[in-house]
Structures are given as structure tokens and as C-alpha cells.
Amino acid sequence: MTRGPGRWAVLSAFTVLAVVMLLPFVIVALNAVKSPAEYSSGGPLSLPHGLYLDGIVQFWQRVNFGQKLLNSLMISAAVAVLATLLSVLNAYALGIGRVRGRLWILVLFLLANTLPQEALVYPLYYIAKQVGLYDSRLAVVIIFTVIQAAFGTYLLSAVLGDFPKAIMEAAAIDGASRWRILWRVVVPISRPTLTVLMIFFFIWTWNEFFLPLVFLISNDTQTVPVALGVLQGDKMMDATMSSASSLLGIIPAVAFFLIFQRTLTRGVTVGAVK
Amino acid sequence: MNRSARRGYWLYLIPGAVLFLAVVIVPFLMNVAVSFTRWSGFGTPRWIGLANYERLLSDETFWASFRHNVALIVAMAIVPTLIGLVLAAALFDYIGKKFGARTASALRAAYYLPQVLPVAVAGVVWGWMLHPQYGALNEMLKAVGLGSLAENWLGDPDLALATVMAIMVWFQLGYPVVIFMAGLQRIDPALYEAAEIDGANWWRRFWHITVPQIRPETFVVLLTCTIAALKVFGPIFVLTRGGPGRSTIVPSYFSYLNFFEKANAGYGAAIATVLALIIVVITFLFLRVQERDT
């Protein structure tokens, strides 16, 4: 085993890699607060002389970023709640009720989750136009509720499959109806899992690009990733405004990561074992 | 529970079943049906049987898109898994032991951070970094005296795919590291201790303990990343729109083009159906191999 200088060499190699991984974040942050003049004289590596926030403010106003944030928040929150609800109902029947054919139903749900969205998009687009839901946030909410719930059902059915029978029987003897047992017994006891699921659905929906790009075409309905993605390569953007737009895309994602860090790392690994 | 008690649980599946039918099953079947037609998206689709699929077979763009998909599987699944295995094992079995768990988890967090970004936003960040006129990367190269290496990274047809691959390695790397590090925690430390006493060096422990013990996680990471690579759309849309020429086109973007820009819904549907089929087959094969393995 290496001792002394050897281990510091290993640590520096790992640190260098960490710096490389974080470099884009640092460079974006540095340049988002520079003025265009500063950028052209000092280049992307110079330290900013102070906080120049005009680039960020200009970009914010130009794309009405507040509205995009609100759209993303509303869509993701609605999907998180509705998809969790739908997963609970499905998993109650499959995991606890053990209805017949549940294995096939689960396989079907899992299949739907791995299906590429490209294979659904055109009919969905067509149907949405027919029923007047095209370019509405509601259409995106409905679609993602179902897609996320497909995974949620799969995961939650496994969790509820191990639900302690004694508690259920005790509640049934006390005369509680099945509906009451679901809300008064099963949901409260599974709350930790449901919270993880909800956070997952929120972040996954926030990160989605393909379907929102197709469905949300007007400025008032677009989400953050769609608004940024569509503007990419716009001739009107200079270096500082481009980095400002990158920064505005990064900040919410990093904020969610910091807020939900524990849940996420725990959840990522739970997902891997299932 | 007796049978009549069980029967009532069906009721709880109704909302899910109705929505699932409307959002997944029916659209998917419609997509398959559309793939047998010529249809601009308006008017009546015209049934043309397998003609779209025949056309696919001789369409050079379609084949190019799948070759690029293979390249992206290398960049998004294989390379991150290989590097991730070494990184996770070294963080767990070397850095963590020599420098403390905090150092190891700080490094892990640094590698994981790109993963928290929406993939389209990651594309936006790199699109700016690699911009030929004002991008940070070329400026950095000039600043350290390597200006001759400056390139139009995404605008050169010979370079664009390699550039996209490099970005995807950056984006994906953290995922296997986190999963593998978690997986390593369930391995009995006594295995490592015994190997160490027997004089096994780090590489031997890596090959004979870490790699075999962490097989289940490796399977899951390879499967999920391969599927992600087959579905990849956001980075391509944001970075290159499949170009220059068709040097970075992928099936998902190719079907999008046919659906929404070329008014060629039938052909787009055929591409999407083939892609769906490939993903289902790969998932099935992976699960079979995994089942036999464990």
C-alpha cells in the first residue's frame, strides 16, 4: 500500500477531477455578473470587478423569467401531488388488494415508463389539439401525472406489498371501510415513502424538456428549460447575457438539490435496488 | 382475505386505468397505426402498409442516427460506468479511509452536481462555453497559450459528435458514482480486511471484491443509462439540432423533425415505433441476463 506522498497524489488527482466537473458552474457564475465591456477586455477567466447584474435583469425581463419560473413550479407541483395520489390508489389495489393479474399490470406500467415519449407525442399532440388543450399547462400536467404515476405505482406496490397485515385487520375489525383504511391507516404510515415520491416527481417534471417543448409553445405557458433551450443560439444574446441565462437555469436546480439532498441521494439508491 | 373482499380493490384502479389508457395505451397504438400511413398531420391518413419501414431501411439519415445512438451509449452508459466504478471504489476504499468520509462525500457531491441540472440547461451551459466567437473554452485555451487548439467545437461536422459525447460524459458521471458508493456500503468490510491481510493490493481488491460484489448496481446503471442514451433529445436539440449536416442526428430528434417540421407524421411514427421496440427489447434482454446472473 502506498504511503506518504503517494496518497496525496491520489487525492490531488481526485481534486483536479472535481474542479473540472465544477468548472462550468464557476465560469457561468463569474461571467453572469460581468458587464459586456468587462467580458471583452478581461475574457471569461478574469474575476469580476463587482456585481454587474444588468445582464441577469435584462435577460429576466426579456424572457419574462418570473412567469417561466411560476409555470415550472405550478406544473411540477401539480404533477407531484396528482401523480403521488394516483400511485397511492393504484398501489392500494395492487400492493394491498393484490387484485388478480397484478403482475401483468405492473409489467405494463413499467413498460410505459421505459417507452420513449416520441412514440406517444404525435397522437397526444393531435388529441390535445382536438380537445382544445394544446399549449395549455393542464395538458402537460395530465400527461406527466400518468407517466410519473406509472413508475410510482411500480415502486409503491412493492412497498405496500410488505404492509403489516395486523394493522389492516385491526382497522377492519373496528369497522373501518376500505376507503377509510386507505386514508387513515395506509397513507399516514407510508408518509415517508410518499414524500420521497413527491419530491422525485417534482424534480423529474421540472427537468423534462421534450413534451413541454412540443406542448408549450407560447411565452405564457413555457417552462424554464424550454424557454432557455429555445433561446439557445439566439443571435441577440451576447456572452454576458448567455451566461446570465445559464445561471438562471442552474440556480433553481442547485437550490432543489440543496433542499432535498438527503431525500434525493437516498431515493436515487432506492430506485437502483428496486 | 377471501375473494369477495379482494374484488372491491379493483375500484381503486379505475382512475389510473382510465388515465393510463388515454395517455399511454391509446396514443401508443395510434402511433403504431399512423406509422402504416402517409399523413401530413391534416386531412385523412392514407394507408401505405410497410412502406415507411421500407423507406427507413434505405434512409442513410436513419442509419446515421442509430450510429450516433451507439456513440451516445458509449458516452452516457459505458464510459461513465467504467470511470464511475473506479471512482466510487477509490472514494470508498481509499480516499474515505485515508482522508475521512467527509472528504469522500464532498468529492462525490462535486461529481454529482451536473446531474441535478435539467439536461436541456446543461446543454445551454455548454452551448455558451463552446460558442465559437465568445465561448469560454476557446478563450481559456488562448489564455494558457494553447490558442491553436481552439475549435468550432459544435460547428465542425468532424468534431460535433465527439464534443456532444464529452459533454454527456460530464453530465452522466455522477450518477454511477453515487449508486456505486451506496452499493459498496452493503459489502461486508471483512472481505476487504481479509484481502488486505492476505496482501492484496488496491487493484486486486477492486477486481476480485468490488467489481463482482457490485454487479447488481452495475446492471441497473447500464440499463438506465442505455435507455437514457437511446431517448436522448434535449442536449441534441439545444446544442446542435442534429447538425451540422446530420453529424449529430439521433432517432428521437429525427422523429421530432418529421413530426413537427417536415409534416411527415407517418414517417416520424415509424421511427418512434422502431425506437420504442429497440428500447423494450434491450430492457427485456438486460432483465433476462440479470435474472440468470443472480
B152-195 tens-digit pLDDT: 888 888 899 999 999 999 999 999 999 999 888 888 888 888 88
Q: What is the CATH number of the domain that holds B230?
A: 1.10.3720.10
Q: Which of A158-167, A237-246, B218-227 has the highest mean pLDDT?
A: B218-227
> Are residues A239 and B131, on separate chains, in Cβ contact within 8 Å?
yes
> Are residues B119 and A209, on separate chains, in Cβ contact within 8 Å?
yes
Residue in chain B closest to A179 (alpha carbons) equals B12
> Are residues B123 and A178, on separate chains, in Cβ contact within 8 Å?
no
DSSP B41: S
Residue whose cell numbers read 394493522: A167
> Are residues B139 and A45, on separate chains, in Cβ contact within 8 Å?
yes
- All residues of chain A having their beta carbon less than 8 Å from the beta carbon of residue B276 are 115-116, 118-119
Residue B183 grid cell: 452499493
Residues B157 and B137: their CA atoms lie apart, in Å, by 18
> Are residues A21 and B217, on separate chains, in Cβ contact within 8 Å?
no
Query: Across residues B24-35, what is the average pLDDT?
Result: 94
pLDDT (0 to 100) of residue A242 = 84
- All residues of chain A having their beta carbon less than 8 Å from the beta carbon of residue B121 are 224-225, 228-229, 246, 249-250, 253
Chain B nearest-CA distance from A83, in A, is 10
Average pLDDT across chain B, whole number: 89
Whole-complex ipTM: 0.88
Q: Please state the domain count of chain B.
A: 2
Contacts of B267 (CB under 8 A, 6+ apart): B52, B55, B56, B258
**Which among A115, A143, A214 is the top mutation candidate for probing chain B, defined by the most B β-carbons within 10 Å of its own β-carbon?**
A115
CB A54 within 8 A of CB B156: no
- Going by C-alpha positions, the residue among B139, B277, B59, B262 that lies closest to residue A30 is B139
Q: Residues B9, B97: one domain?
A: no
- All residues of chain A having their beta carbon less than 8 Å from the beta carbon of residue B200 are none
CATH label, A64-231, candidates 3.30.465.10, 2.30.42.10, 3.30.950.10, 1.10.3720.10: 1.10.3720.10
Residue in chain B closest to A117 (alpha carbons) equals B231
The yes-or-no verdict on residue A138 having pLDDT over 90 is yes
The yes-or-no verdict on residue A168 having pLDDT over 60 is yes
Residues B33 and B293: their CA atoms lie apart, in Å, by 38
DSSP A47: P
The yes-or-no verdict on residue A81 having pLDDT over 90 is yes
Neighbour tally for A97: CB within 10 Å? 22
A253 touching B (Cβ < 8 Å): yes
Residues A251 and B201: their CA atoms lie apart, in Å, by 43
Chain A nearest-CA distance from B270, in A, is 9
A234 touching B (Cβ < 8 Å): no
pLDDT (0 to 100) of residue B169 = 96
Residues A142 and B51: their CA atoms lie apart, in Å, by 34
DSSP B13: G
- All residues of chain B having their beta carbon less than 8 Å from the beta carbon of residue A213 are 237
pLDDT (0 to 100) of residue B5 = 57
Q: Residues B25, B92: one domain?
A: no
- Going by C-alpha positions, the residue among B137, B160, B133 that lies closest to residue B147 is B137
Q: Residues B20, B59: one domain?
A: no
Please list the residues that pair with B38 across neighbouring strands. Answer: B46
Q: Residues B17, B87: one domain?
A: no
Q: If contacts are CB pairs under 8 Å, which of residues 119-138 in chain B contact chain A?
A: 119-121, 123-129, 131, 134-136
Q: Residues B161, B137: one domain?
A: yes
pLDDT (0 to 100) of residue A10 = 86
Calculate what percentage of chain A has a pLDDT beyond 70: 93
**pTM for the model:** 0.89
Of B27, B183, B260, the CB nearest to A120: B27
pLDDT band at A175 (very low <50, low <70, confident <90, very high): confident
pLDDT digits (tens, 9 = 90+) for A194-204: 988 999 899 99
pLDDT (0 to 100) of residue B41 = 82
pLDDT (0 to 100) of residue A273 = 46
Alpha helices by DSSP H, listed for B74-118, are 79-90, 96-99, 101-116
Q: Residues B49, B113: one domain?
A: yes
Chain A nearest-CA distance from B33, in A, is 10
B96 touching A (Cβ < 8 Å): no
CA angle A234, A237, A241 (to 5 degrees): 135
pLDDT digits (tens, 9 = 90+) for A198-222: 998 999 999 999 999 999 998 899 9
pLDDT (0 to 100) of residue A233 = 67
pLDDT band at A5 (very low <50, low <70, confident <90, very high): confident
> Are residues B27 and A127, on separate chains, in Cβ contact within 8 Å?
yes
Least confident of A145-149, A203-207, B8-12: B8-12
Q: Residues B95, B22: one domain?
A: no
**Which among B117, B178, B230, B239 is the top mutation candidate for probing chain A, defined by the most A β-carbons within 10 Å of its own β-carbon?**
B117
The phi and psi torsions of B46 (rounded to 5 degrees) equal -105, 125
pLDDT digits (tens, 9 = 90+) for B230-251: 999 999 999 998 889 899 999 9
Q: Residues B72, B135: one domain?
A: yes
Q: Residues B77, B2: one domain?
A: no
Residues B201-236 as b/e (b if ≥16 CB within 10 A, e otherwise) read ebeebbeebbeebbeebbbbbbbbbbbbbbbbbbbb
Q: If contacts are CB pairs under 8 Å, which of residues 202-231 in chain B contact chain A?
A: 202, 216-217, 220-221, 227, 230-231
pLDDT digits (tens, 9 = 90+) for B91-128: 988 888 888 888 998 999 999 999 989 998 999 889 88
Query: Across residues A19-40, what is the average pLDDT?
Result: 86
Residues A54 and A32: their CA atoms lie apart, in Å, by 9
The yes-or-no verdict on residue B208 having pLDDT over 50 is yes
Residues A53 and B130: their CA atoms lie apart, in Å, by 23
A131 touching B (Cβ < 8 Å): no
Query: Across residues A16-40, what is the average pLDDT?
Result: 87
Residue A1 grid cell: 500500500
Query: Across residues B139-153, what is the average pLDDT?
Result: 80
pLDDT (0 to 100) of residue B6 = 56
Residue A101 grid cell: 393479474
- Going by C-alpha positions, the residue among A21, A146, A14, A130 that lies closest to residue A83 is A146
The yes-or-no verdict on residue A274 having pLDDT over 60 is no
- Which is higher by pLDDT, A80 or A261? A80
Q: What is the domain extent for residue B24?
A: 1-30
B234 touching A (Cβ < 8 Å): yes
pLDDT (0 to 100) of residue A1 = 47
- All residues of chain B having their beta carbon less than 8 Å from the beta carbon of residue A249 are 117-118, 121, 124-125
pLDDT digits (tens, 9 = 90+) for B65-95: 999 999 999 999 999 999 999 999 999 888 8
A171 touching B (Cβ < 8 Å): no
pLDDT (0 to 100) of residue B205 = 87
Side-chain-facing half-sphere of B177: CA atoms under 13 Å? 27
